[in-house]
């Protein structure tokens, strides 16, 4: 099984600021951690990060050709990007929405996701393990 892990805006800065919210690991070390855990359950991962909405949409479109599923942390786009929502909806492969932090304990604007309704499920609040839990979830979808 091949899964694409998509990360949105500012997640390339992981480990540089707000370690209390997002952890102390860098983006690269989080990817290495996810890859290692994925290999343990027989999943091959690709990784994509962009700060641009259009590039994320292009990655979702491309994923449908070579991947079996998507794990997406759309960053702040989660809360307002109908274009990313439409892209997830347009591709037939399943997507799981993830967040490192528990968005529901934070500011009101983070409580709303416009992409949840087109994802198979949502995992939030488990740090870098949110991504790993999403891989387990996708591994169980047949």
Interface with ligand CA2 (CB under 6 A): 10-11, 13-14, 16-18, 22, 73, 75-76, 78, 99-101, 103, 110
As measured in angstroms, the least distance from the Cβ of 18 to ligand CA2 is: 4
Spatial contact of 72 and 94, defined as CB atoms under 8 Å apart: no
19: which 2 tokens?
């370690």
* Closer residue to ligand CA2 (CB): 1 or 121: 121
As measured in angstroms, the least distance from the Cβ of 42 to ligand CA2 is: 26
* Closer residue to ligand CA2 (CB): 57 or 101: 101
Which of 109, 70, 79 lies closest to 9, judged by CA?
A: 79
125: which 2 tokens?
């609040």
As measured in angstroms, the least distance from the Cβ of 112 to ligand CA2 is: 10
CA distance 9 to 87: 17
């Amino acid at each position: 099984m091949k899964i694409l892990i998509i990360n949105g805006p500012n997640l390339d800065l992981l480990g540089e600021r707000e370690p209390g919210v997002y952890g102390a690991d860098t983006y690269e070390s989080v990817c290495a951690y996810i890859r290692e855990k994925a290999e343990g359950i027989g999943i091959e991962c690709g990784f994509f990060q962009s700060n641009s909405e259009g590039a994320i949409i292009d990655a979702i479109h491309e994923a449908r050709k070579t991947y079996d599923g998507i794990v997406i942390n759309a960053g702040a786009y989660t809360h307002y990007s109908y274009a990313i929502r439409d892209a997830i909806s347009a591709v037939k492969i399943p997507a799981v929405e993830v967040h490192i932090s528990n968005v529901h304990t934070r500011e009101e604007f983070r409580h709303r996701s416009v992409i949840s309704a087109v994802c198979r499920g949502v995992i939030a609040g488990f740090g870098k393990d949110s991504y790993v839990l999403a891989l387990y979830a996708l591994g169980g979808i047949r």
